[in-house]
Chains A and B, each alone.
Chain A
Amino acid sequence: MRKPGDTALRRFRIALETARALGASYADIRVVTRRDENIVVKNGKVDALESSEESGFGVRALVNGRWGFASSSKLDDEEIEKTAELAVRIARASARAKTEDVTLSPVDAICDSYKTSYDIDPFTVSIDEKIELLMDAERLMRGKKGIRVSTATMGFRREEKIFLSSDGAEIAQEIVESGAGISAVAADANDIQERSYPGGFGGDFAAKGYEFVKSLDLAGHAEEIAQQAIDLLDAPQCPSTTTDLILGSNQLALQIHESCGHPSELDRVFGTEASYAGTSFLTPEKQGTFRYGSPEVTIVADATVPGGLGTFGYDDEGVPAQRTELVKKGIFINYLTSRETAGRVNQRSNGCMRADGWNRMPIIRMTNINLMPGDWTLDEIIRDTKDGIFMDTNKSWSIDDKRLNFQFGTEIAWEIKNGEMGRMLKNATYTGITPEFWRSCDAIANEDFWHLWGLPSCGKGEPLQIAHVGHGASPARFRRVRVGVGRW
């Protein structure tokens, strides 16, 4: 990792000095350089081969108890000073509409650096090798009769960021991410069905190097998922009923994301997302007493787990990465917090403030929100289920603006009869109310079945920010869930 030299640091400090001189009680600057590479192979052709690089800085200033944020891609002394001045001016404008002053919970002023650990730098691997890996997997799917669209994708990111605050923090970080996936779309005159591996929406991602992509063995799964897509065309429709539901870990990852991760964001709880995706049912009086789930359910936010897409050294307020229990044995006990929100619940920040690049203001984001494993094997859960449905791989998602009423659709499902997996079912959907659903969880598979998924597409905030987050889960069973929603 390239650490900033004295000249660069002196330049970045201009922002802090300018903001403070103009009346800011606190200021910080983040300088971010981001490189992305994305490859898409579709139907035997390279459909997209893209490389993007961007850099810039954002200055956050607290003036008269309100925030102002200004950013620019032009990194010179004059622009840094002008941008800091603009951040202060914007903060003063914010103060025209305030009810109370923002206060920040304390944080140690840390000077440190952090770097993702990886074996193979993905940006050093040749394009030829990457295309060949994707082509090999895509060819195997395309070889199946009935496949209309076969796609293999790969994506990489390197983000270097420097954080300086008027509290004295100086932190340099380098995060490297890699991911890949395949999907097959089968169609006939009556229907169209899709299967993906390892998960939908681009596959799986991790804060690792190219070794992660190789470990996915895309080609080794290509024919199986292509055949499943074809088989789904003739599979019976998921019945409309109430039954026991076993979710695979990929679908469970999104269930955790929408119904636990987002509602436990303390800024959302305090209403700051009200006009966009909404607020949260996890209101402050519930902290420490509310039965969110069954005693089997323990959910943690862990920014320290190696390789997670929500793993880092420090958040964008300079707070060290942490592990926090959100739900312990079914009881909701904690939130994802920032310096601003933590003080309002008499805590210090647990380090969840992140910004999507140099041009966005940090907001509370999920880190790796993980459902801790139970002690069942998947076979034991299935054998213990008399009548139910197993669903996996997310296809569709929706949840209300307090994160209570949800509905998900999955790519594939199988019925379970008398403890055995039966027929494949298509167009599977399920719906429920968040705490009722998690309270019905009575079996979670053990750590052998646990997987930490990387989700690079979490949208929140205005202007929109896309966060990269992780979700660990093993398959779990939920009793008496409504499935097969809608008219088909």
Chain B
Amino acid sequence: MLATAEKVLNLSKSDQTEVHCVRGRSFLTRFANSEIHQNTAERDMTITVRCVIRKRVGVASTNRTDEVSLEEVISRAIAFAERQPENHSFVSLPGPGQYREAATFFRETDEFTPEDRADAVNVIIKKARKAGLVASGSFSTASYEVATVNSLGVRASGKTSLASLVTVIMGDGGSGYADRLSRNVADIDVEAAGDEAVNRCLLSRGAKAIEPGEYDVILDTYAVADMIGMLSYMGFGALAFQEGRSFMTGNLGKQITGENITIWDDGLSEPGLATRFDYEGVPKSRVDLITGGVARGVVYDSYTAGIEGRESTGHAVSPSFAVGPYATNLFMESGTSSLGEMIDSMGRGIFVTRFHYTNPVHPVKTIFTGMTRDGTFLIENGKIARPLKNLRFTQGILEALSRVELISRERRLHDMMGGGAYVPRIKVKGFNFTGVTEY
């Protein structure tokens, strides 16, 4: 891969050039109604070129690897760069860095077969059937070779793999959920995921509605990962920060949540999704985002770092996403409570397994909305009293994080908008539920 990337780099005559190559195989086995209904495989290689001519940047990509296509992709990027006015905010592509080793690739994931995925899915289907329930979900495995090189000496390359299992179990008006995420498919505990989702579904049958309003909540790790991921989308990146669209703008050094909240991004820390370098080939750095409730920093790519005269933190994503740098390896500090202690401590409140279809309502105020899903329960006098029909919430995230009373010892890793979030459960005083649905 590195050789291919360097070959393309040598074709460019622009002032600065970056070549990003990714070659991969990905598979996804999807099941519903307790049978496999979609089952896919993909093999692709994409080459993306960024050419810079006097502060003018053009980007072009292709998935054809013949000589003509490689020369043509360079020509397109150069032509785009030449035909625009200078962008004086652009300083430079990044220079070379030192890469730390990390466990990003596992042979077990690379060699996992369609038959292996089908057998794993059958484990969950059988558990659901045994309980009189219906299974759905997906099991995906993928492996990629990635290389980013540039004319300033960046030479980043390596292999990554990823395995993800998601299941929703439904029946008798109830539903339960579980997911597992790892670079190594051997670490995906299919039995445990199946048991978790089946048990949650059985508990959630016979749900009754509750009046919307403000309730104390315990958010399971799935809901916390969704919420922290939404916070990252709303404003942990330097582009939103610099444009004044982030809740972090003007607040660095200020208390923005409770003192018990600490959130950081780290591409190299276990058990997150280990990532050695970003899209531009810049080594991943740990970035403290919120420490003890105080806003500490945001993540940078080379463009936003150049604007402030600082170094990239290694958080560039594909320019196609047009979102600027993105924190995708999130960690939230654990607390000291067990789940049992959290439930015991609650007089009356709601346990939320996960959120569904969350979306920002006002990013600077960090207000978001969404539904609860796959297991929502009323807690009374320290015990789970009964399952609840799903509720809509409309809530400020920073406001919720200012009222966290308990944080669990246990943390779990979940998918978070393309990355991973390793988060605990939290108990929040006063969460604003604004509607209810019919099931």
Chain A contacts to B: CB under 8 angstroms: 38, 40, 45-56, 66-74, 83, 86-87, 89-91, 93-100, 126-128, 131, 148-149, 185, 187, 191-192, 270-278, 281, 359-361, 363, 395-402, 404-405, 407, 409, 427, 429, 431, 433, 461-463, 485-488
**Which residues in B have their C-beta under 8 angstroms from that of A431?**
392, 434-435
CB proximity of B105 to chain A, nearest CB, Å: 20
A-B contact count (CB 8 A): 272
User: Which residue from B45, B73, B117, B437 sits with its C-beta under 8 Å from A402?
Assistant: B437
Given contacts A56-B44, A93-B117, A274-B136, contact A99 B36 (CB under 8 A): no
Q: Is the CB of B40 within 8 A of A50?
A: no
Interface CB pairs A-B, < 8 A, 26 = A46-B87, A51-B80, A52-B61, A53-B64, A56-B44, A69-B38, A71-B41, A72-B42, A87-B41, A96-B118, A96-B122, A100-B35, A126-B83, A148-B245, A278-B356, A396-B359, A397-B359, A398-B369, A398-B371, A401-B357, A404-B437, A405-B371, A405-B392, A431-B434, A462-B138, A463-B28
Complex Cα gap A429–B434 (Å): 12
Q: Is the CB of A400 within 8 A of B390?
A: yes
Q: Is the CB of A485 within 8 A of B369?
A: yes
Tell me if B402 is interfacial: C-beta within 8 Å of chain A: no
Given contacts A45-B87, A93-B117, A99-B34, contact A55 B168 (CB under 8 A): no
**Which residues in B have their C-beta under 8 angstroms from that of A429?**
361, 369, 394
Given contacts A51-B59, A52-B320, A131-B84, contact A90 B359 (CB under 8 A): no
**Which residues in B have their C-beta under 8 angstroms from that of A74?**
43
Tell me if B396 is interfacial: C-beta within 8 Å of chain A: yes
Tell me if B119 is interfacial: C-beta within 8 Å of chain A: yes
User: Which residue from A52, A275, A359 sits with its C-beta under 8 Å from B137?
Assistant: A275
**Which residues in A have their C-beta under 8 angstroms from that of B35?**
66, 97-100
**Which residues in A have their C-beta under 8 angstroms from that of B137?**
275
CB proximity of A68 to chain B, nearest CB, Å: 6
Nearest neighbor of A135 in chain B, beta-carbon distance: B85
**Which residues in A have their C-beta under 8 angstroms from that of B136?**
271, 274-275
Interface of chain B residues 85 through 139 with chain A (CB within 8 A): 85, 87-89, 113-115, 117-119, 121-122, 125, 134, 136-138
Q: Is the CB of A271 within 8 A of B32?
A: yes
**Which residues in A have their C-beta under 8 angstroms from that of B359?**
396-398
Q: Is the CB of B170 within 8 A of A50?
A: no
**Which residues in A have their C-beta under 8 angstroms from that of B62?**
52-54
Complex Cα gap A485–B362 (Å): 12
User: Which residue from B41, B43, B243, B369 sits with its C-beta under 8 Å from A148?
Assistant: B243
Q: Is the CB of A86 within 8 A of B41?
A: yes
Chain B contacts to A: CB under 8 angstroms: 26, 28-46, 48, 56-64, 73, 76-77, 79-81, 83-85, 87-89, 113-115, 117-119, 121-122, 125, 134, 136-138, 140, 166-168, 170, 243-245, 319-320, 322, 356-365, 367, 369-371, 373, 390, 392, 394-396, 432, 434-439
CB proximity of A322 to chain B, nearest CB, Å: 24
Q: Is the CB of A274 within 8 A of B371?
A: no
CB proximity of B170 to chain A, nearest CB, Å: 7
User: Which residue from B36, B59, B170 sits with its C-beta under 8 Å from A98?
Assistant: B36
Nearest neighbor of B374 in chain A, beta-carbon distance: A401
> Which of A94, A148, A363 has the most C-beta atoms of chain B within 10 angstroms of its own C-beta?
A94
**Which residues in B have their C-beta under 8 angstroms from that of A40?**
322
Complex Cα gap A180–B30 (Å): 36
User: Which residue from B38, B46, B81, B84 sits with its C-beta under 8 Å from A67?
Assistant: B38
Given contacts A49-B80, A271-B32, 10 further A-B pairs with CB under 8 A are A55-B64, A275-B32, A275-B168, A278-B356, A278-B373, A395-B361, A404-B439, A407-B434, A429-B361, A433-B437
CB proximity of B414 to chain A, nearest CB, Å: 15
**Which residues in A have their C-beta under 8 angstroms from that of B77?**
51
**Which residues in B have their C-beta under 8 angstroms from that of A278?**
356, 373
CB proximity of A37 to chain B, nearest CB, Å: 9
Nearest neighbor of A461 in chain B, beta-carbon distance: B38
Q: Is the CB of B37 within 8 A of A462?
A: no
**Which residues in B have their C-beta under 8 angstroms from that of A83?**
43
Q: Is the CB of B31 within 8 A of A97?
A: yes
- 7 closest pairs, A vs B, by CB? A486-B394, A93-B114, A405-B437, A274-B136, A94-B36, A275-B136, A275-B168
Complex Cα gap A82–B356 (Å): 39
Nearest neighbor of A45 in chain B, beta-carbon distance: B87
Q: Is the CB of B437 within 8 A of A127?
A: no
Complex Cα gap A86–B43 (Å): 11
Q: Is the CB of A274 within 8 A of B434?
A: no
User: Which residue from A127, A274, A360, A395 sits with its C-beta under 8 Å from B84?
Assistant: A127
**Which residues in B have their C-beta under 8 angstroms from that of A395?**
361
Complex Cα gap A98–B32 (Å): 10
Nearest neighbor of B367 in chain A, beta-carbon distance: A486
Given contacts A272-B38, A277-B357, contact A55 B29 (CB under 8 A): no
Complex Cα gap A409–B28 (Å): 34
Q: Is the CB of A94 within 8 A of B435?
A: no
Q: Is the CB of B79 within 8 A of A127?
A: yes
**Which residues in B have their C-beta under 8 angstroms from that of A427?**
361-362
Complex Cα gap A100–B34 (Å): 11
Complex Cα gap A487–B433 (Å): 10
User: Which residue from A50, A277, A363 sits with its C-beta under 8 Å from B320?
Assistant: A50
